[in-house]
Every structure is written in structure tokens, then in C-alpha cells.
Structure 1
Amino acid sequence: MASALKNLSDYNSDNLPDISGKKFGLVVAEWNKEITDTLCHGAYDTLIKHGAKAENIHRNTVPGSFELTLGAQLLAQSYEIDAVIALGVVIKGETKHDDYICHAVAQGLTQVGLKFNKPVIFGLVTTNDEQQAWDRAGGKHGNKGVEAAVTAIQMVGLFS
């Protein structure tokens, strides 16, 4: 759902599964680092809030959003990881690079999830400008990292 219609940090915590024994992988792009770190903190804090143990949350950092797919695969191939959350930011520029990157990341993350039969969550913020990215990283539209973590929690519940 478009973030203009729903705050990314709002969710119903009723019926979330027990994740105290689950392990999560966070793969975070360094490009737009201040924003992606904010997304990561939102995801991490949400996982902890709902019972994940700090030692069961593993973070990999990759150079940019395009590399999220391989970073996610490296985490997903571990039998210990129950779900992977990919976090990045792609801001539209003067060229169509954003279209290519977003499409590749969406397809790649989908393939990783299907290959390893585990949730791989698309936490990529795709915006027209930097302000819109901040609006989705704890600003007026909430934090996409929170939404991604809740999605991971819900999806892990499907496997329980």
C-alpha cells in the first residue's frame, strides 16, 4: 500500500508469532547510509520489541541496493537464518538507473526467497528525491524498516 495512505510504522501486533527462537538476517546497503541505517534501526528495534534476541539478528552490509540480492542470498543460504530483511534506498535521478536497479532487486530477492524457501523481505525505499526517502525512514510516513520487520515476523509465522 502506498505510504501516503498508510503510515509504514503502524501495524496490528495482535497475533504476531513467537520469534524468541528465530534468527533474522539484515542486509543493508551503504549507499545513502544515513537513511539505510535509520531503516535498519527501525527493523532491529521492531524485532527486539517482539521477542527476537540480539544475538539472533545478523547484519551484512553491501555497497549499494543492487548488491542486496547477493547479500540476502549469503544470509538465506545459512540454515540458521529464518528470514532475511533487505534494506536499501534508490532515489530517482536524471537517468533510468533507478528502474533497472529496483527491478533487479525485486526479481533477485524473490528468487532468493524461492530458492531457499524462506522469507526474504523487500525493504527497498524507492523515491523521487531524498526528502521522500527520509519521509519513509522515520519521517511523516513512518519507517519502512519497521514495516519490513513486521512482515518478516508474520512470514516466519507461516513456517511455524
Structure 2
Amino acid sequence: MASTQKNLSQHSEKNIQDISGKKFALIVSEWNEEVTESLFQGAMETLLKNGAIKGNIIRKNVPGSFELTLGAQWMAQEEEIDAVICLGCVIQGETKHFDFICDAVANGITNVGIKYNKPVIFGVLTPDNQKQALDRAGGKHGNKGDEAAITAVKMLGF
């Protein structure tokens, strides 16, 4: 979690293995595109910096964060995919819609990982407003995309 004490882009180097032979799927929500594109760039840069081969990284777009779960399932069922990274942003609104979407996405992504026994990473921002989202998508709190990518790398080294 990003805070004034912890930057999303900082991480320990423990449990990082050679990922040059690993294949990653990045599922990116088109909703809140300014934020999700930055999350994607952060994840991509982190994977490449840690040894992933660009040709082994597949990007798939989905309309919104709710659809990340099904997109993740479609990619996780592919045997050659080693890890799936889901990137999205759901900003708090005036209705309970936020709560329903966030709960469904978190549970859905968790269940896909369990079902396919591979890392399926929750890289979804759930801020109160656009400023908080941008602060966590390459702003003053780092980039949740970096954190999601390094989480996938570390889980592959588990």
C-alpha cells in the first residue's frame, strides 16, 4: 500500500529469479485510461528491467475493471502463460457501485489464481479521487504497475 512511508515502486530484491523464459499476460482496463496506461508502462518497464523478454509479454485490453477477471481467466487457462497481471482503476463515486465492483474484482482475480494455480496479480487502484489515482500511477507514491509486476516476478520465484 502506498503511503508517505512506502513508495509502490520500491521493493526488496529477495526472491527474484531469472524470468527470461517466463511468459506474462497483462490485462489492462480501458476505463480511466490515463491511469491504466501509466500502470501498464510501469509494469512493462519493471518486467523488462528484471529480465523478461518483450516478446513474452502479451497485452490484452478489457473495457473496465469488472472485466479484468474474465480476461485474466482467458489468459490464465493458456498453458504457456506463467503469470497474469491485472491493471485497473476504480475511483470512489457517490454510490455503492464502487464497493460492488471492487469486491467482485478482488474476489474474481483471487479465484482465477487459485483455479489455475499460477500468479494472477491484483494491480487495481481503488482511490477516492483522480488525484490519488495519479499519485499511485507514476506520481508521488510511485506506480502500482511496478508493484504488480514485481509481485508476479516474486511469486514465480516462490
Residues 36 and 49 of structure 1, relative CA distance in 2, 3 Å threshold:
same
Name the % identity: 64
Which residue in 2 is equivalent to 1:138? 138
Which residue in 1 is equivalent to 2:62? 62
Task: Provide Cα deviations, 1:38-64, integer angstroms capped at 9, x if missing partner.
Answer: 000000010000000000000110000
Which residue in 2 is equivalent to 1:30? 30
Residues 113 and 14 of structure 1, relative CA distance in 2, 3 Å threshold:
closer
Task: Provide Cα deviations, 1:57-105, integer angstroms capped at 9, x if missing partner.
Answer: 0011000000000010011000000000000000001101111001000
- Alignment TM-score, normalising by the size of structure 2: 0.97
Q: Does the 8 A contact of 2:83 with 2:152 survive in 1?
A: yes
Which residue in 2 is equivalent to 1:42? 42
Which residue in 2 is equivalent to 1:105? 105
Which residue in 1 is equivalent to 2:87? 87
Counterpart amino acid of 1:116? Answer: Y
Which residue in 2 is equivalent to 1:17? 17
Q: Does the 8 A contact of 2:2 with 2:8 survive in 1?
A: no
3-state secondary structure, aligned to 2:94: coil
- The answer to whether 1:148 aligns with 2:141 is no
Counterpart amino acid of 1:23? Answer: K
3-state secondary structure, aligned to 2:111: helix
- Alignment TM-score, normalising by the size of structure 1: 0.96
Give ranges in structure 1 of 5+ residues lacking alignment. none
Counterpart amino acid of 1:3? Answer: S
Question: For residues 53 and 103 of structure 1, what CA distance do their matches in structure 2 show?
Answer: 33
Deviates more, 1:106-115 or 1:5-14: 5-14
Question: Number of residues paired by the alignment?
Answer: 158
Counterpart amino acid of 2:110? Answer: T
